[in-house]
């Protein structure tokens, strides 16, 4: 009886050890294999433009072929850049619209309306991107949806800090009540003025 309990205990310990080893091996692989991170939005008042930067990372196979970030105003997108690393240095390289194999476009892909950037990112690489928005306003900050395509389909989705592209239109009473009050006061004072005369 004592021998059976000892064998069960050893079997449980071996099973727990194997399970721990499997979890330790799988965890780094599944964590952030494809991601868009480090989102920042700044405003250049001198040029009257918002600058949105973020980093796209590939830590798995297959390599990234393109990615999309949600955005609602096509007319506001002025320029798109990738920070290209060559010979130990890096420089911002402008991507052209409809450019192949590297470029950008605007539209809806796989249910995500926004900017699609065609840029090959290999396993182990991270590339910084910069989008210039010239719409005459500073966009606030909010969480923006993204999707990454590698191989035959979308392999990762998430959110990154970016410009708040939700245009807030005031409700009718918010505009109508003050305007109505001003018109009412004009009629009241006009009526008093004519009554005195």
pLDDT on residue 29: 41
DSSP string, 73-129: -GGGEEEEEEEEEETTEEEEEEEEET-SSSEEEEEEETTEEEEEEEEEE-TTEEEEE
So where are the chain's domains? 1-31, 34-163
pLDDT tens for residues 112-135?
899 999 999 999 999 999 999 987
Please work out, in degrees rounded to the nearest 5, the angle formed at the alpha carbon of residue 86 by the alpha carbons of 151 and 158: 40
Kindly report the average pLDDT of the chain as a whole number.
82
Q: How far is Cα 135 from Cα 155, in angstroms, rounded to an integer?
A: 32
Name the 3-class secondary structure at 187.
helix
For the chain, percent of residues with pLDDT exceeding 90: 43
Q: For residue 28, what pLDDT band results from cuts at 50, 70 and 90?
A: very low
pLDDT higher at 32 or 150:
150
pLDDT tens for residues 1-12?
566 677 777 767
pLDDT on residue 1: 58
Predicted model pTM? 0.68
pLDDT tens for residues 154-185?
999 999 999 886 655 556 676 777 887 788 88
147, 173, 174, 184, 191 from 178: Cα distances, Å: 43, 8, 7, 10, 20
Fold of 34-163: Immunoglobulin-like (2.60.40)
Q: Indicate the pairing of strand 153-163 with strand 103-109.
A: unpaired
The partner residues of 84 in beta bridges, in order of sequence, read 91
């Amino acid at each position: 009886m004592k021998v059976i309990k000892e064998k069960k205990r050893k079997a449980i310990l071996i099973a727990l050890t194997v399970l721990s080893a499997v979890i330790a091996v799988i965890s780094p692989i599944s964590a952030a294999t494809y991601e868009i991170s480090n989102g920042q939005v700044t405003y250049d008042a001198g040029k009257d433009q918002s600058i949105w930067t973020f980093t796209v990372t590939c830590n798995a196979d297959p390599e990234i072929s393109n990615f999309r970030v949600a955005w609602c105003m096509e007319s506001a997108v002025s320029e798109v850049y990738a920070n290209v690393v060559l010979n130990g240095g890096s420089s911002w390289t402008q991507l052209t619209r409809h450019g192949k194999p590297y470029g950008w476009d605007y539209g809806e892909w796989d249910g995500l309306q926004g900017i699609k950037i065609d840029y090959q990112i290999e396993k182990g690489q991270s590339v910084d991107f910069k989008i210039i928005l010239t719409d005459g306003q500073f966009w606030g900050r909010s969480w923006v949806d993204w999707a990454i395509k590698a191989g035959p389909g979308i392999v990762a989705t998430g959110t990154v800090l970016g410009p708040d592209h939700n245009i807030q239109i005031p409700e009718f009473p918010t505009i109508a009540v003050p305007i109505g009050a001003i018109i009412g006061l004009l009629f009241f004072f006009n009526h008093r003025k004519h009554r005195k005369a």
